Structure 1
């Protein structure tokens, strides 16, 4: 069913294939878990108001995700398999954020370059529409003081989504309280910050499963299913 849905779906388009696993027998679920494995991207989505949040884990097949939510009693309220560039719970939570004024007057005294950056972000956030290309501010290239960093962080706040993409190093992606504004930080294998950016976009490219990887995953899953059938 999942592969059939993937064949007719373009990553990032509405209507991603999505299947609940809650009613799957325990033995079949264990076999599925072993077959799917784990990939390099994970995410946490906070729900607030004491409601358990979502845990998202990419499988070994890029673009195929496990999406789970605790029931608060040690079990799972939701257990979903979804195929897309990123699960809908992540996208929807980030787009709901809109709880901050991007006003340089809110910055503390002592900042130097943060007001100009905040004005730039306010301009691009005002024109933000889902699906538009990202506007990227590279803070690593700017003479940003600790006070600038602290002031900008305080105004933008912390949003509901945190994403970790692991590879040769780590890319840590976090939504802010401002709709469409993300903090995207790259760390090397020694956990040293090597690139610090802010992106105005619906979802940073570093978090998405690429379309070519999605197609490759579909082909690999077809090979796996064929192998399992031959092994029966």
Structure 2
């Protein structure tokens, strides 16, 4: 068994790209955006996509007014032409957080934070992989993440103690009590496996009991983190990695979507300013 609470089934590991220490994703994205818009190709794209250009100040205004605990704001770009969506993608760039959320009937939401924190692009595909919706969302975390995470068990079935277990049974009792008591907005309760004496048998039984969840997010902010919903409601695996891809902090959080994936109040203001600067420099 591999280290860490959450591991993919053997042969089904998903690659996790860990940026080197000192890598500045925001600066790198800003340079690539400017490099593209400053080219003849970028200038032509701007001229040919007035609807995309008109959307940018609307996004900036919405970002400036947004707060982390407020309802999200949606901007549907599904019916935009391909070149318009391409230009929007070039301008927004790629931020620190990305992931997927699985919904019933085979629908999957692909989630990508823009280089402006708190601004997200969410694309839905059906069971056949066809695009069904494409929109921009301004929020701490896209609503689909919370929606998908709700499609999980409200309680856990604690079975018999496995032979050779150390601490898994009291941990399961604690998790069950905490998830039942949690209410939206409550502080998260954290179980830190890095500090607890747990065996491989404990971890295996814990994984089997909690099950797989419908959400997986990767954050490349201050260190890299993998945030995975379990099959138990409000229970998340949150793992932090070093530059070599080794787990350095392994936790379960019982609560709302972990803060490691979410934008904060100050992010919205900063993102609004950056987007306005880009619009004024290249679209007016």
- The two structures have a TM-score, normalised by structure 1, of 0.91
Structure 2 unaligned segments of length 5 or more: list them.
Answer: 1-57
- Shift of residue 126, structure 1, vs aligned partner: 1.7
Pick the aligned partner of 1:111 from 153, 160, 165: 165
Distance 1:160 1:106, change over 3 A: farther
CA deviation string 1:103-137 (max 9, x = no partner): 2x344322111111111112211211111101101
CA deviation string 1:82-102 (max 9, x = no partner): 011110000111123126525
Q: Which 4+ residue blocks in structure 1 deviate beyond 6 angstroms? A: none
CA RMSD of aligned residues (A): 1.7
Residue aligning to 2:33: none
Distance 1:100 1:109, change over 3 A: farther
Counterparts of 1:57 and 1:161, CA distance in 2: 13
Query: Which stretch of the first structure deviates more once superposed, 25-34 or 117-126?
Result: 25-34
Distance 1:120 1:37, change over 3 A: same
Pick the aligned partner of 1:66 from 115, 121, 132: 121
Q: Is the 8 A contact 1:102 1:155 kept in 2?
A: yes
Counterparts of 2:228 and 2:147, CA distance in 1: 14
Please give the secondary structure, in 1, of the residue aligned with 2:169. Answer: helix
**Pair 1:133 & 2:190 matched:** no
Counterparts of 1:45 and 1:114, CA distance in 2: 28
Residue aligning to 2:267: 213
Please give the secondary structure, in 1, of the residue aligned with 2:213. Answer: coil
**Pair 1:91 & 2:146 matched:** yes
Counterparts of 1:72 and 1:160, CA distance in 2: 15
Counterparts of 2:204 and 2:129, CA distance in 1: 37
Please give the secondary structure, in 2, of the residue aligned with 1:80. Answer: strand
Counterparts of 2:194 and 2:266, CA distance in 1: 30
Residue aligning to 1:190: 244
- Shift of residue 2, structure 1, vs aligned partner: 2.2
- Shift of residue 159, structure 1, vs aligned partner: 0.7
Query: Which stretch of the first structure deviates more once superposed, 133-142 or 64-73?
Result: 64-73
Residue aligning to 1:154: 208
Pick the aligned partner of 1:11 from 43, 48, 68: 68
Q: How many residues align structurally?
A: 227
Pick the aligned partner of 1:35 from 71, 78, 91: 91
CA deviation string 1:15-40 (max 9, x = no partner): x1101111112322222111111011
Q: Is the 8 A contact 1:102 1:118 kept in 2?
A: no
Counterparts of 1:229 and 1:60, CA distance in 2: 18
Structure 1 unaligned segments of length 5 or more: list them.
Answer: none
Counterparts of 1:100 and 1:123, CA distance in 2: 9
Q: Is the 8 A contact 2:63 2:271 kept in 1?
A: no
CA deviation string 1:139-162 (max 9, x = no partner): 110111100110111101111111
- The two structures have a TM-score, normalised by structure 2, of 0.75
Q: Is the 8 A contact 1:107 1:152 kept in 2?
A: no
